[in-house]
Amino acid sequence: KQELISLRIEKNATVQEYTDKIAKANGDRFGSLASVATGEADVAKLQNAYSNYDIRNQLYYITAPQSGQITKARKAGIG
């Protein structure tokens, strides 16, 4: 009877040890997934910033609807 109780205690200790290891592995896994998500968010943010700069840079050029010479340029707005 004593040996049976001792084996049950040992079994519970082993189960608890592996449960802790599994919980730690899951925690590390979720931490890695969070890092991946953060990296993807940073990439999306940088792509958005690049797109904004690219669009703004294209606004510096004025294209005419037909070929020819410019004789007078008007500026819209104040000043």
Tell me how far CA of residue 77 lies from CA of 64, 74, in angstroms: 20, 10
Query: In terms of Cα–Cα distance, which of 24, 39, 75, 71 is closest to 47?
Result: 39
pLDDT in tens, 53-64: 998 888 877 777
pLDDT, residue 77, reads 67
| Backbone Cα Rg of the chain | 33
Full-model pTM: 0.56
N-terminal to C-terminal alpha carbon distance within the chain: 99
The Cα–Cα gap between 43 and 53 comes to 15
Q: Domain residues of the chain, as ranges?
A: 1-62
pLDDT in tens, 7-29: 999 999 999 999 999 999 999 99
